[in-house]
Each structure stands twice: as C-alpha cells, then as structure tokens.
Chains A and B, each alone.
Chain A
C-alpha cells in the first residue's frame, strides 16, 4: 500500500531558527515528490523533486530528495513568523497523488 509519512507532525520554533521537515514514502512507480505550504486556502506549491541529490532552492527554503532511502527534507533557514503554516509533502505515483498528513510549523516572534 502506498504511503507518505511526514515528521514531525508539529513543530514550534522561534524566529531565526532553522528547521528541517521530513517526508518518507513507499510508493509504486514513483514519478515526483512535491512540497506545498498551506496557510489558509489552497496549498501553495513550493518544489517538485524528481532526481536524487539535486537541491532545489528558493530564498530561505530548500529541498532535496533521496530516491534510494525514499525520503525528502525541506529546510527553512532564518525562520520568520510568516513561515508559520502546514507544510505538505505529496508523492505522484502511478495515476494518483499521495499526501502526507503535513507538518504544522509555528514560528514565534
């Protein structure tokens, strides 16, 4: 059975801290792994990863995929209160998309 597991489920940090969010998966016919940030409405797309070892970077956010160990991490450096959100990991495989339960990040001033 395909599954995507995110950890931790929730995380509270202070501004300026660096955080690492984890996503592990077990799927058949992996195609890509996606990271989203969800604040209020629809999840906002962050990264799509298809190849191992290639870091994707956008400002203070970066992500990398390990297809051998079947996981990805999302790093956020110098966190700000605006980074508070639920971060979702999703894996595209076969004909569907499997989402993890998300990591709820709270950044305190």
Chain B
C-alpha cells in the first residue's frame, strides 16, 4: 500500500514553455502533498506544501507564480513550471501524507525535467 506515482517520469521542453507534473496517491487519500526539488549532491529542497482544497504554502525563495501548485483532490496534486528556463532543469519529487509533515510521507518516483 501507500503508493505515490508521478507523471511524466521524464520531460524535455523548450525554454519558455510550461510543463505540468502530476502527483497521485494511488491507494490512499492524501490530505497533504509536498513538492521537492533535487539539487546537486543529492540534497532535496522543499518547494511547497499543498493541502487539498486550499492554496499551497511556498517555502522562502520559491516563486509561487512560476511554480503553480494545485491540489484539486485528495489523490492528485499538480506542479506547473511556467515559462520554464534551463535553470529549472532538475529532478522534481512529490510526497504525500495523511496528516501533514509529522506523519509518514510516501514519496513518488520523481520527474526529471530538462529545459533546452
């Protein structure tokens, strides 16, 4: 149980285009989903926390107008990278939990974004 999927697993796009990444909890309802970005040396940066039906909470330094997060249902959250630039190229990972950060998080397999 507790499976989280992401789609697509890999995406290549041109600079200036927008890319949508989906995160789904397949067998449980996730009240909270988290979006991370992987940086060099394997560090993970929390970008934002989203709760179903409310606006996402962005971490300091993360542009909310550039990284649009929608948590439309208890099983789906989306991250849209708007007007992507090469520096947005990264590995984006989502996780989902039942009751927020203090509870167990189940991680998705990640989406690798390459912006040309």
Contact = CB atoms under 8 A, between A and B. Distances in A.
B45 interface: yes
B45 A96 contact: no
Contact of B42 (A41, A45, A96): A45
Q: How large is the interface on B (under 10, 10 to 19, 20 to 34, 35 or more residues)?
A: 20 to 34
A41 B107 contact: no
Contacts of B95: 99
Contacts, number: 47
Given A41-B46, A45-B42, A45-B44, A101 B104 contact: yes
A44 B10 CA distance: 24
A95 B42 contact: no
Interface of A: 34, 36, 38, 40-45, 48, 86, 88, 90, 95-99, 101-102, 104
Contact of B43 (A45, A99, A101, A104): A45
B46 A101 contact: no
A99 B107 contact: yes
Given A42-B36, A95-B9, A95-B112, A48 B104 contact: no
Contact of B44 (A43, A98, A102): A43
A97 B104 contact: no
Contact of A45 (B41, B101, B112): B41
B59 to A, nearest CB: 8
Contacts of A95: 9-10, 112
Nearest to A102: B104
12 contacts: A36-B44, A43-B36, A43-B44, A86-B105, A95-B10, A95-B112, A96-B110, A96-B112, A97-B38, A98-B109, A99-B95, A99-B107
